[in-house]
Every structure is written in structure tokens, then in C-alpha cells.
Amino acid sequence: MIDRTAPAPRPDRAATAAEGPDGGGPSAEAAPEAAALREAAPPVLSLKGVHQVFGTPRGDVPAVAGVDLEVRPGQVLCLVGESGCGKTTSARMAAGLAAPTAGSVLFRGRDVAAMDKHERSVFRRAVQYIHQDPYASLNPVRTVYSTVSAGLRRHKMVKDRHEARRAVTELLERVDLTPAEDYLDKYPHQMSGGQRQRVAVARALAMNPEVIIADESTSMLDVSIRVSLLNTLGKLRDELGVSFLFITHDLAVAKYFAWDGEIAVMYLGKVVEHGPTPQVVNDPRHPYTRALVSAVCEPDPDLARTKERVRLRSADIPDLTDLPPGCDFHPRCPLYAQGACDTLRPPLVPSHDRLLACHVVTGE
């Protein structure tokens, strides 16, 4: 690899990686000292009260309305929620692909909007984005070598073609495309979806990123391939200390990949519940999170028949141009109580060992 700027892997991470049978799966125990470390390390990337409003003929659409998120070194922050809740828009702002209408995106404490050319180039290299659809995100007329080495050549990280090929070979091996020589000169159409997505990961990795933003990167893949790609990403996290902003609508994937990290649940452009993964998934408190967790189809017929389901009052998501007063979730919320719910917007406050935005639950 070429000049490693990413921080060295933390010792506790390296230990768990060595223990795992495939070196990929996250460890099941969340040590308390790890939690302390998590608090101590300054965030690599943070969103501070960001808003994104899209102007449309029907009115302004507040796709993201005041979100605070922090991605810490070597940690995973997972954003979950339904389509249209602002996950991807938040990610695009975090990657600097869209400028927030209000609020700021900070990279190592520096506002991305105020960066000069050099700083911006460093930021661009350090934060990489993996798109959802590997069929659309790779240029069909470029070979794997050409795609993966484009950034290396652009940023002058390799001297000549020979060195570039060697660097690309190393990258492909890192994402388990072996033997790498077989893939170097292939075109995207000669590969399966899982292999293409690995090429997209290798391309992101070529820049020695500190943060990888993965936007639904596994949702297009078959179940059998999904797990092995998640394990590859987990290996990057554990061995190279890459941080992840991981976006998914699949709670099972979120749980598996972000077990040691945090989950933020978004609804209509706001975070409604944010906390350590085991708490959020196994003991959800916000009624929306509870509904999401209970709606999952479990691959277990007995459990599927006996599982308690949260009944929503309405199946329809309110229109973003015409949001209800008070809490955005109140027209669907099973815990809705007259009073604060339909008049006051609940703030995101610490409660039940996490951050919650719900009058009823935080008032208990």
C-alpha cells in the first residue's frame, strides 16, 4: 500500500480480528473500555445541525431537517430508516457531494465548506463513497484495472503503469477478488453483482480512506453474497481502522455490521433514536424503531407466527411538503397521546442510555 494516512488499528480491534475464524465477523462482546475509548476519540467526520431543503414546484422539501451525527475513528455509524427519510441525502452531504442548506459538515474539525483547494483534496481522498448499485456505478467501458487505478493516477499516488498494476493487484486481493490477475483486465459485464461491488470497494480503498460511506451497498446482492461482502468490509474496519458511515434499510444487516458501533434511526429527515447497536436493535424504545424491528420477516416460521407486532395507526408516510404539526410520527404512532405529541416537536434528548426524540417515552 502507498502512504498510509489512516490511524493504526486500535489494539482491542486487532485482537478481536485475530480471534475470529474468518477475521471478518464483529466480536460479540462490547467491552466497557471500548465504550470509553469511543467517547474519547474525536470524530473524523461530523454533521452539525445539517439541513437540506430541495425546492420543488409543489413547495420546499426538507429532506434532512437538523441532523447531528459523528463518525469516530474505526467505528461504524449505521443510518437506518425507510426510503425518503433522508439517509442518502445525509450521506451525500457527509461526502461533500452536496452542500447543506444550513449547518456544517466537519472533517477532522474543519468545516468542509471553508476548505481551500489542498485541504479539499485531502478530504476527497479521505472520505470515499460506495454506491448502491454496482451495475450503475462502474463505467462499462473501463476495465477493472482502469477503474481502480483512476484515483491513484489522478492523485499521482503511483509513478508508472507497472506500479499502478501492482497497487491494483494488492487492492483486489484485499477485497478477496483472487487471483487478482484474472480480474485486472475484465470489464464489469464479465462479472457478477457481488464481484462488481467488490471492485467498487477496491476503488474506494485505493485512496487509503479514513471514512467509507457505504450507501445500501449490499442491498442489491443475493443473500449468500451479502454476508461475504459484509465480512470483507468488516475486515477493512478491523484491520485498517477505516470508519464507516453505513446506510441500510435492513435492520439485520445493520445489526450484524454495526454491532460494536452505533445506529441512528431516521424518520422524515430527523434522527429519532440514536444509540449503541445492541440497545437500539434488541431493546428499541422509540415507537418508530419498535415498529421497524417488529416488522422484520424473520427466517424462522415459529418466531414469525408468535412475534408481537407493533400496529401503526396509519400505513402512509406523511408528505414532506406538508408535515403534521408536533411530532412527525404522531399520525402513525401507537403511543400517541393528546397534548404534546401534536403540538410540540420532540427534541432528541438522552434517555434510556441513548438519544430519543419522543415525548411519551422520554417522559416516562
Residues that bind other proteins (CB under 8 A): 22, 25-26, 28, 82-83, 192, 194, 222-228, 231, 249-253, 255-256, 259, 278, 281-282, 291-293, 295-304, 307, 309, 312, 315
Smallest gap from Cβ 142 to other proteins, in A, equals 23
Task: Give the residue with the Cβ less far from other proteins, 151 or 193.
Answer: 193
What is 124-157 written as a DSSP string? HHHEEEE-S-TTTSS-TTS-HHHHHHHHHHHTT-
Smallest gap from Cβ 14 to other proteins, in A, equals 19
Smallest gap from Cβ 217 to other proteins, in A, equals 15
Task: Give the residue with the Cβ less far from other proteins, 68 or 250.
Answer: 250
CA 189 to chain centre: 27
* Three cell numbers written together for 317: 408516510
Smallest gap from Cβ 1 to other proteins, in A, equals 25
Decide: 123 and 204 in contact? Cβ < 8 Å: no
Across the chain, where does the E strand assignment appear? 45-56, 59-71, 76-80, 102-107, 110-111, 127-130, 211-215, 243-248, 262-267, 270-276, 349-351, 354-356
Task: Give the residue with the Cβ less far from other proteins, 171 or 292.
Answer: 292
Smallest gap from Cβ 287 to other proteins, in A, equals 12
Task: Give the residue with the Cβ less far from other proteins, 55 or 299.
Answer: 299
- Across-strand partners of 282? none
The angle at the Cα of 203, spanning 141 to 161, to the nearest 5 degrees, equals 70
Smallest gap from Cβ 61 to other proteins, in A, equals 15
Picking from 207, 210, 95, 212, the residue whose alpha carbon sits closest to that of residue 151 is 207
For residue 14, what is the enclosing H or E element? helix 11-19
Smallest gap from Cβ 299 to other proteins, in A, equals 4
- Euclidean distance between CA atoms 155 and 87, whole angstroms: 29
Q: Which residues contact 226 (CB under 8 A, 6 or more apart)?
A: 218, 253
Task: Give the residue with the Cβ less far from other proteins, 89 or 149.
Answer: 89
Task: Give the residue with the Cβ less far from other proteins, 209 or 261.
Answer: 261
Neighbours of 174 (CB within 10 A): 21
Picking from 219, 209, 257, 206, the residue whose alpha carbon sits closest to that of residue 88 is 219
Task: Give the residue with the Cβ less far from other proteins, 84 or 151.
Answer: 84
